[in-house]
Structure 1
Amino acid sequence: MAVATPVALVLTVCFLGFNLPSLSVASSSSDFLQCLSTIVPSQLLLTPGSPSFKPLLVSSIRNAKFVAPATARPPLCILTPTKASHVQAAVRCGRHHGVRLRVRSGGHDNEGLSYRSQRPEVFAVVDLAKLNTVRVDPRQATGWVGSGTTLGELYYAIGKAAPGLGFPAGVCPTVGVGGLFTGGGQGLLMRKYGLSADNILDATIVDADGNLLQSKKAMGDDLFWAIRGGGGGSFGIVLSWKVRLVPVPPKVTFFSVNKTIEQGAVDAVTKWQTVAPALPDDLTVRVVVQQRTATFQSLYLGNCSTVVGTLRGRFPELGVKYADCREMSWLQYTAYLYFGEAASKKIPLEVLLLNRTMTIGPFVKNKSDFVKKPLTNNTWHKIFTWPSGAAKGHLILEPHGGRMAKIADGDTPFPHRSGVLYNIQYVQFWNGSGVGGNISMMPNWINGMYDYMAPFVTKNPRAAYSNYRDLDIGVNKVVGGVSTYESGKVWGDRYFVGNFRRLAMIKRKVDPADYFRNEQSVPPLF
């Protein structure tokens, strides 16, 4: 990762000065590759015949169940652009020769849509990993970050250049900012500063015609609104983002407290539902529920004595003690929350945060919910004692309130603001084989738990978080080469609630031919 020049990617000379016909006028795949090769250096363009192709394709697949389908029906090629003109060429050549694009930055897409297609279509992958430069301006408390930058790279660059600043985003250091920002970007600083998307000041994007729009002024208010939480793969390819950095103290406090069901976990989580969203904005306490145990984890923008005193008064059921706390810099905290004790054993932070590789583990399935009314103690007892069998499933509960409750539902496409107590991420792991992650081969813990929770979460619609993408809730139907609004509304209303219609209207304005399309991309509203 280069912490260097801004990611103000400059448009070179105009090229490929042809009109853009509809996708129905398709040429051969070889013509697309030939078209790309006139602009893109050969070392940045890999086809399945290259020995490096499969390792690159698999390198950022984070969910093992997608390895088999991704390699069985691979993309036509993988482009690893280093500047804007390469991305422009991909869009223009793709439009001209009938090849669609899938774009990935970190590879954590829960359904793998950034590098695979469930449809029988010719597509190429634009892998943004080389667009990972970061420039921090400590005096202005801003930064420019490339879409291929991982959270670990971003955190490290900020922590080294401006120790008194941070940025609100997620936990996993190998998540790419390009995907995270376009979906909103939840994290443990959101109660104090809002989502990642709430702190985006500007951006550069290649639109559906292959034009480079180098500022929010160039793209217009509607498109700039849409890319800050409206989901990835719908409106263009964002190359870089200008972000607002936020103040953090020299030391923050982390604690992790485990409570088994015998130690009062059910009572503690029941109380947590109303306490956590109402705590001071400087304090976030999330919960991981797994195997009859609740793990409470915190981020407090202050010292240990203050947080212990606060929780003794407002949440005595948790029983936090001074011995449970660790004080550290915000940068150290970003590593410690994910890596645990490994981050305290003198392993250099750059080793932990700048490593883009991640070992492929078991198969994974995710779902999500938002909660506005506290669940009863009896309901939580049922959840804690839910039969798991061989399933390895858990719930991650992240509190809202604070700054999240003060931002209007329509300020960005992310609508889950007023009245939300917390969100739930359901995660299940299981061992797979060559089945390609077939859902029928998956243990049924997550589906059973999700069905059970229906009466207790948001309704009409039952909301979901777009960054926890879930194809079970609906996929687009394509008619006449364009995704239909009616099919998109099935899942879109759940991710974006009242904002989905506006997103679809913007899609019609900026990409009426629906070039940027996947199974859950925003369709144009005609």
Structure 2
Amino acid sequence: MKKSSPLPSFPTPFLLLVSLLLHGSPSLADSVNDNFVQCLTNQTKDKVSNIVFSQTNASFTSVLQAYIRNARFNTSTIPKPSIIVTPLHESHVQATVICAKQIGIQIKIRSGGHDYEGISYISDIPFIILDMFNLRNITVDIESQTAWVQAGATLGELYYKIWEKSKVHGFPAGVGPTVGVGGHLSGAGYGNMLRKFGLSVDHVIDAQIVDVNGKILDKASMGDDLFWAIKGGGGASFGVVLSYKINLVQVPETVTVFGVQRFLEDNATDVVYQWQHVAPTIDDRLFMRMLLQPVTSKVKKGEKTIRASIESLFLGEANELVTILGKEFPQLGLKIENCTQMSWIESVLWWANFDNGTSPNALLDRNQNSAKFLKRKSDYVQTVIPKDGLEGIWKKMIEVGKVGFVFNPYGGKMSEIQASDTPFPHRAGNLFKVQYSVTWEEGGVEEEKDYITQTRSLYSYMTPFVSKNPRSAYLNYRDLDIGVNHYGKDSYEEGKVYGSKYFNGNFDRLVKVKTAVDPDNFFRNEQSIPTLQTKA
């Protein structure tokens, strides 16, 4: 295979700049910073020293590290940006795009820093970070049941603002309060109400984006194709998403949560097998996430076993839930004492692992749970895994060591929406999504290699049980193992390797949108949408 040039769409002067920067030229780096700051000042007519952080700035490291959510990418050997820009106004975003193009440097766009592979804040070529965390305004209008939310807001902040205005409204998005709205929505983020209401992007009704020319576009001015693309195709391929307008959903005054555990010693295999039949088909008000983890047995000392944990949200009261599960999932043996009734906002806190009684103010904390080392992968299951298949998986999990699974059931509203309605195609036909999950506390090259090898080994073992042609993956569970683009002459083919997994039959439409709105491929990352111009 021929190695393609990583920067074919930039002119020769930029390639010289890259070469000089990569080989270390402090004076040149200073010059780039000076030129960028001067350009930014000219474009905005503002004093920009308070929003631009070069590597010599005393606050550079703290600003950089504040939104690194995977400790694997917070080491001295990881490439650092030349500059971090933290816009306070939309005009600052426009100017950053214009000036980055003018001096010829890559932009990485970060809203919350939760992308699993760190591609919003690392790069192998000189780059700047456009960090959106200051653009976090949220305006909730209960009368119209809508909200405008800026890309730098977190999900926790969004839920809090909705709760301030109404106790019977919510929004169907993720369970992590510190996740940034920009990346979550543009990548088709989901949460524990997806079976009732679908994905977050199924409720996006307008948006604002800064395009490659530095212009702010809304739904009307960007057109249907671009609006479609940024509702699940990953906004960073097409521009800088400033904000989304969303429809809120109505939630009951009382919801119910429960968490139960089963081990291999007490019928976990039967429960997991039956869960596959029940979780995607049961009442769409009920979401039952299942976590599978290799743990030390309490019955057989020194031996490993598998723990199956089911965590659930039911949009209704406990008595009704127990009745439903007694009929449809008796193997679980759910009892009323296993259930807790609460308000929707309290369930948000419960799912985020806060203690009962915690104030919703906790959702405004952006620094929860300091970053740990992690690796994630994803798959989709379309046919029930038989019991002998599950028993083989248990053996492999115990052999591998530490890697666990998270099973997220589909069905309900997910089966009612067409695969082409948004770029996110994984709807009808999928029983559940699989997340491969391993987290560790201590850094080190050998530790990282070991855990990543474990994850890949389990992923390989699962091949017979998951989707095929393509073996699909979820964009918001970024995984560079499934393909990387070097943006040379084979850019389209490289893009299709991962693009067909993330987007299935929607990939080529995304390529056409990309080609129309960003023909020179200015907005790009390791797994962005390529343009047709580079197709071999």
Whether the TM-score (by the shorter chain) exceeds 0.5 is yes
2:52 corresponds to: 45
Cα pair 1:232 1:521 within 8 Å, conserved: no
Q: Conserved in 2, the CA contact under 8 Å of 1:23 and 1:97?
A: no
Q: Please tell me whether the aligned partners of residues 269 and 387 of structure 2 are also in contact (alpha carbons under 8 angstroms).
A: yes
Give the alignment's TM-score, normalised by structure 1: 0.91
After TM superposition, the structure 1 = structure 2 runs for residues 154-233 of structure 1, keeping only pairs within 5 Å, are 154-213=158-217, 215-233=218-236
Structure 1 residues 115 and 23, CA gap change in structure 2 (3 angstroms): farther
Which position in structure 2 is the counterpart of 1:136?
140
Give the conservation status (yes or no) of the 8 Å contact 1:60–1:358: no
* Alpha-carbon distance in 2 for matches of 1:468, 1:379: 25
2:173 and 2:200 in contact (8 A); partners too: yes
Residue 289 and residue 251 in structure 1: after superposition, are their counterparts in 2 closer, same or farther (change >3 A)? Answer: same
Alignment correspondent of 1:320: 334
* 1:153-205 deviation digits (Å, cap 9, x = unpaired): 01111111121111001111110010111111121111111100111000000
Alpha-carbon distance in structure 2 between the residues aligned to 1:23 and 1:398: 46
> Which one-letter code corresponds to 1:185 in the other structure?
G
Considering only aligned residues, what root-mean-square deviation do their CA atoms show, in Å?
1.8
Identity value in percent: 44
Q: Which residue of 2 aligns with 1:398?
A: 408
Number of aligned residues? 495
Distance 1:223 1:387 in 2: 42
Indicate how the Cα distance of structure 1 residues 486 and 248 shifts in structure 2: closer, same or farther if over 3 A, else same: same
In structure 1, list runs of 5 or more residues that go unmatched.
Answer: 1-20
Letter in 2 for 1:323: E
Superposed displacement of residue 432, structure 1: 4.0
Deviation at 1:434, TM superposition (A): 4.7
- Is contact 2:82-2:126 (8 Å) kept? yes
Q: Is the Cα–Cα contact under 8 Å of residues 391 and 429 in structure 1 kept in the other structure?
A: no
Q: Is the 8 A contact 1:392 1:430 kept in 2?
A: no
Match 1:237 to one of 225, 237, 240: 240
CA apart distance, 1:496 = 0.2
In the alignment, the residues of structure 1 paired with residue 406 and residue 369 of structure 2 have an alpha-carbon distance, to the nearest angstrom, of: 22
The CA distance in 2 between the partners of 1:289 and 1:209, in whole Å, is 47
**In the alignment, structure 1 residue 380 sits paired with structure 2 residue 390:** yes
Q: Is the 8 A contact 2:111 2:181 kept in 1?
A: yes
CA distance in 1, matches of 2:250, 2:259: 24
Cα drift, residue 440 of structure 1:
3.0
- In terms of mean alpha carbon deviation, does 51-60 or 406-415 score higher? 51-60
What one-letter code is carried by the residue in structure 2 that aligns with 1:477?
A: H
Letter in 2 for 1:116: I
Match of 1:17 in 2: none
Q: Which residue of 2 aligns with 1:274?
A: 277
Q: Which residue of 2 aligns with 1:55?
A: 62
Rounded to whole Å, the distance in 2 between the matches of 1:410 and 1:285 is 26
2:427 corresponding residue in structure 1: 417
Residue identity matched to 2:252? P
Give the 5 Å matches for 1:28-177.
29-30=32-33, 31-38=35-42, 39=44, 41-68=48-75, 72-117=78-123, 119=124, 121-177=125-181
Q: Distance in 2 between matches of 1:418 and 1:404?
A: 6
CA distance in 1, matches of 2:518, 2:452: 40
2:334 aligned partner, one-letter code: V
Please say which of residues 231-240 and 302-311 is displaced more in the overlay.
231-240
Give deviations 1:117-155, integer Å, cap 9, x for gaps: 1x2x22110111111111111111100001011110011
Deviations 1:101-129 (A, max 9, x none): 10111110010000111x2x221101111
1:335 partner amino acid: L
The answer to whether the 8 A contact 2:172-2:193 is kept is yes
Q: Is the 8 A contact 1:62 1:360 kept in 2?
A: yes
Q: Which position in structure 2 is the counterpart of 1:13?
A: none
Q: In the alignment, residue 129 of structure 1 is paired with which amino acid?
A: F
Which residue number corresponds to residue 508 of structure 2?
Answer: 501
Task: Tell me how far apart the structure 1 counterparts of residues 11 and 252 of structure 2 sit (CA, whole Å).
Answer: 53
Aligned residue in 2 for 1:444 = 453
Which amino acid counterpart does residue 410 of structure 1 have in structure 2?
S
The 8 Å contact of residues 374 and 440 in structure 2, kept in 1 or not, is answered as yes
Write out aligned runs for 1:250-265 (5 A).
Answer: 250-265=253-268
Deviation, structure 1 residue 498 = 0.2
Mapped partners of 1:457, 1:390: distance in 2:
19
Deviation at 1:37, TM superposition (A): 3.5
- Name the CA distance, whole Å, in 1 between partners of 2:169 and 2:358: 23
SS in 2 for 1:496: helix
Structure 1, residues 481-518: CA drift from partner, whole Å, max 9, x if none?
xx711110000000000000000010000001000011
Distance 1:25 1:509, change over 3 A: farther
- Give the SS at the match of 1:306: helix
- Whether contact under 8 Å (1:388, 1:445) holds in the other structure is no
d(CA) in 2 for partners of 1:88 and 1:242? 20
Maintained 8 Å contact 2:379/2:467: yes
1:360 shift after superposition? 3.3
CA distance in 1, matches of 2:319, 2:422: 37
Tell me, yes or no, if structure 1 residue 337 matches structure 2 residue 340. no
Structure 1 residue 349 corresponds to structure 2 residue 353: no
2-structure distance, mates of 1:387, 1:91: 46
